Amino acid sequence: MKNWQRTLIQSGTSIRDAIAVVDSGSAQICLVVDKQNRLLGTLTDGDIRRAILRSISFERPVSEILNADPYTTSVDDDKRDMLRIMRSNDIHQLPVVDQNNSVVDLVLLADLLDAPETFDNWIVLMAGGFGKRLRPLTEDTPKPMLKVGNKPLLEIIIENFISQGFRNFYISVNYKASIIKSYFKDGDRWGISVRYLHEEQEMGTAGALSLIEQLPDLPLLIMNGDLLTNINFSHLIKFHQEQSSIATMCVREYDMRVPFGVVDIENDRITRIDEKPLHSFLVNAGIYLIDPSVIDLIPKNQKLDMTSVFEKVLSSGGKTTAFPIHEYWLDVGRQEEYDIANEDIAHIFK
């Protein structure tokens, strides 16, 4: 791999700085080394997300969360050996080390296969909302078709999925549906397949799924049509599979500061005063991966939100999981976020 040295970090590097390294390159990995370049461990996207779920501060060193026993390959191994190791262990990156365990290269599965990874999963983009919070901009234009930079928001979302190997799309439409349908048509202009789920009434963030006539074999990736994010969706699919999950919800950290001093009291006595404390929560990020069987839990032609779908899965005994995201994420719901999106678009989707 070219520029593999950019993935090298020290064990004392903060998790926050390591995330920047992981997100900035195609390798999606950090190789943690000592001063002699000897491999101490690796840090992948999955390690970072598990740290988020454990509420580990991003200011902590990567030594606390790295994989200290990663798979490696020798400088003497050929490509067939490397490919066998990667396929048998379901990994996409493989450090190459010499006899002293010093890193000399990094091999990526995509490079060995000499072809980009593709996915047959259907993407469902929920684009039927009325965009009331963005009026008057949405009086004549549905929110997903508002331009961010020089393209409609929905086109940016779809092209991001295309760049990651996805080709099959459903778009749920309602408000000013003809504008969306006349723009994307059947998707042929982008070399993809686009089908439409036409809502005759407001159906929430999940109700339109009941309009899918032929259920696919693979999990469906569902996303609100007003989100800008640079998540690597293959990581979401892999996580869902590894967890044997029925339904996976992407979650993100949300901080809320109490604007007052919080007083702890025992038997009328003040024991502690916490001045304007900051509380962190994991909240729904509007991106989901569900097995096709989940659609059977959604009533036909009724309004239903995805949170209710997850409750149905839970009550039926199905396994649900949370996939924490640390990447760029923006809900373009109000004028303030729309302005931010237009400022960010140039450097988020280069």
Task: Give the integer Cα–Cα distance in Å for 291 and 171.
Answer: 18
Task: Identify the band that residue 2 occupies on the pLDDT scale cut at 50, 70 and 90.
Answer: confident
Strand partners, 247: 290, 320
Model pLDDT, residue 1: 67
Q: Which of 332, 287, 306, 283 is nearest to 133 (CA)?
A: 332
- What angle, rounded to 10 degrees, do the helices at 45-53 and 233-242 form? 70
Token code pair at residue 347: 């450097």
Asked whether residue 310 carries a pLDDT value surpassing 90, the answer given is: yes
User: What topology is assigned to 119-348 in CATH?
Assistant: Spore Coat Polysaccharide Biosynthesis Protein SpsA; Chain A (3.90.550)
Higher pLDDT, residue 186 or 131: 186
pLDDT band at 350 (very low <50, low <70, confident <90, very high): low
Q: What is the pLDDT of residues 159-174, one digit of tens each?
A: 999 988 899 999 999 8
Per the prediction, the chain carries an average pLDDT of: 88
User: Which pLDDT does position 257 carry in this prediction?
Assistant: 81
pLDDT over 70 percentage in the chain? 98
d(CA 348, CA 138): 24
Most confidently modeled range among 1-5, 86-90, 269-273, 288-292: 288-292
Judged by phi (left if over 0) then psi (alpha if -120 to 50, else beta), residue 195 lies in beta
Structural element, H or E, at residue 280: strand 278-290
pTM of the model: 0.78
Q: Which residues neighbour 348 within 8 Å (Cβ) at sequence distance 6 or greater?
A: 228, 230, 328
Name the amino acid, one letter, at 27.
Answer: A
b (16+ CB within 10 A) / e for 130-161: ebebbeeebeebbbbbbbbeeebbbbbbbebb
Quick one: average pLDDT of 190-199? 92
83 or 228, higher pLDDT: 228
The C-alpha atoms of residue 311 and residue 322 are separated, in whole angstroms, by 13
Compute, in degrees rounded to 10, the torsion defined by CA atoms 308, 310, 314, 319: 170
* pLDDT above 90 (res 240): yes
CATH of domain 4-113: 3.10.580.10
Calculate mean pLDDT across residues 256-278: 83
- What confidence tens digit (pLDDT) does each residue in 8-40 have? 989 899 999 998 888 877 678 889 999 888 999
Q: pLDDT (tens digit, 9 = 90+) per residue, 96-126?
A: 998 888 998 898 887 777 666 789 999 999 9
- Supply the pLDDT for residue 4: 87
Average pLDDT over residues 71-93: 83
pLDDT greater than 90 at residue 265 = no
Residue 54 to residue 88: CA distance in whole angstroms: 29
Q: Which residue in this structure is represented by tokens 């044997």?
A: 244
How many CA atoms within 13 Å lie on the side-chain side of 32? 24
Find the angle CA(257)-CA(263)-CA(268) to the nearest 5 degrees: 165
> pLDDT per residue over 131-157, tens digit each?
788 788 788 888 899 998 889 999 999
pLDDT class for 183, splitting at 50, 70, 90? very high
More confident residue, 204 or 221: 221
Residue ranges covered by each domain of the chain: 4-113, 119-348
**Alpha helix ranges (H) inside 143-204:** 153-163, 177-184
CA angle 160, 164, 170 (to 5 degrees): 65
- Give the contacts of 305 (CB within 8 A, at least 6 positions apart): 204, 205, 206
- Euclidean distance between CA atoms 89 and 86, whole angstroms: 5
- List residues bridging with 220 in a β-sheet: 290
Of 238-247, 250-259, 297-306, 318-327, the one with minimum mean pLDDT is 250-259
Residue 294 has pLDDT above 80, yes or no: yes
Report the C-alpha gap between 201 and 318 in whole angstroms. Answer: 29
Which residues, other chains included, contact 219 with Cβ-Cβ below 8 Å and sequence gap of 6+?
121, 237, 240, 289, 290, 291, 292
